[in-house]
Amino acid sequence: MKISELFFSIQGEGKRSGLPSFFIRTNHCNLRCRFSGGNLCDTAYTSWFPDDKNNLGEADISEVIGDYKKYFSKDIVITGGEPAMYGDEIEKLCMGLKQLNPECFITLETNGTYSGDFLKLIDLISISPKLKSSVPFETEFEKMHERNRINVNALMEICRLSENKICDVQWKFVFTGDDDINEISKLQKTIGFKNEDVYLMPEGITKKEIDSKRLRVIEVCLKNNFNFTDRLHILAWGNKRGI
């Protein structure tokens, strides 16, 4: 499993916002988001420009768990890149973390394009399906991204895990405009997830951008009976690594 960084910070998005958490950020992603406003993915160093030299590279699971021991927080967030690319290793990692701290609460942040048994060890699957507004038009990645960004079977499997109370889920979407709402509604009809599990967040990699879009996103949430989530880490620190 390639690791980009390990760090201790607050969860910035979704239903566990504000909680102190140990972050395990894997490197590499199977998608290449570039949002309609022009911003690349906010962790482009794990997707567009994965940097294997200046990070932890092929970190051993025991090394990751050893780092977690320094903080021993209840919340652990496995994020990326796309961590679900490494399903078998994620399974071993979660088993090791739960053995060390049975009280820990593991969130997996994923784009929802992979499924498998490893998901049963996760407490909260935070799925962020990538909408049309994420397609990097006129780049070499356009077709690959468009083909892979929605995996209906994987999303349905994740939805079933939550219906069967095996784990909790939240569906997080970057809101860029009204077309996103039409796409989310269609996805909801196909997959069957509930409004109460949907979180919309403003798109942006700076405080200024998020501040300028927040009110509009809140209004859209109220109109559609969705939850709003801010992006606290960006508001506090900007678009930096290791936060």
Residues within the interface to ligand SF4 (CB under 6 A): 29, 31-33, 41, 43, 46-47, 80-82, 111, 130
Nearer to ligand SF4, 75 or 82 (CB): 82
Pure H helices in the chain: 61-68, 87-100, 142-148, 152-163, 178-191, 207-224, 232-237
Place of tokens 């992006």: 231
- How far is Cα 22 from Cα 7, in angstroms, rounded to an integer? 6
- How far is Cα 150 from Cα 162, in angstroms, rounded to an integer? 19
Question: Can you read off the two tokens belonging to residue 69?
Answer: 């021991």
In the complex, minimum distance from the CB of residue 47 to ligand SF4, in angstroms, rounded to a whole number: 4
Which position's Cβ is nearest ligand SF4?
Answer: 41
Burial of 232 (0-12, 13-18, 19+ CB in 10 A): middle
Nearer to ligand SF4, 21 or 133 (CB): 133
Nearer to ligand SF4, 43 or 162 (CB): 43
* H or E segment and range at residue 238: none
Q: What is the DSSP letter of 34?
A: B
In the complex, minimum distance from the CB of residue 202 to ligand SF4, in angstroms, rounded to a whole number: 14
In the complex, minimum distance from the CB of residue 42 to ligand SF4, in angstroms, rounded to a whole number: 7
In the complex, minimum distance from the CB of residue 31 to ligand SF4, in angstroms, rounded to a whole number: 4
Are residues 150 and 130 in contact, defined by beta-carbon separation less than 8 angstroms? yes
Nearer to ligand SF4, 83 or 104 (CB): 83
Rounded to 5 degrees, φ, ψ at 97 are -65, -40
Nearer to ligand SF4, 73 or 111 (CB): 111
In the complex, minimum distance from the CB of residue 139 to ligand SF4, in angstroms, rounded to a whole number: 12
Nearer to ligand SF4, 40 or 232 (CB): 40
In the complex, minimum distance from the CB of residue 50 to ligand SF4, in angstroms, rounded to a whole number: 10
Q: Provide the 10 A C-beta neighbour count for residue 238.
A: 12
Are residues 129 and 173 in contact, defined by beta-carbon separation less than 8 angstroms? yes
- How far is Cα 79 from Cα 98, in angstroms, rounded to an integer? 17
In the complex, minimum distance from the CB of residue 17 to ligand SF4, in angstroms, rounded to a whole number: 18
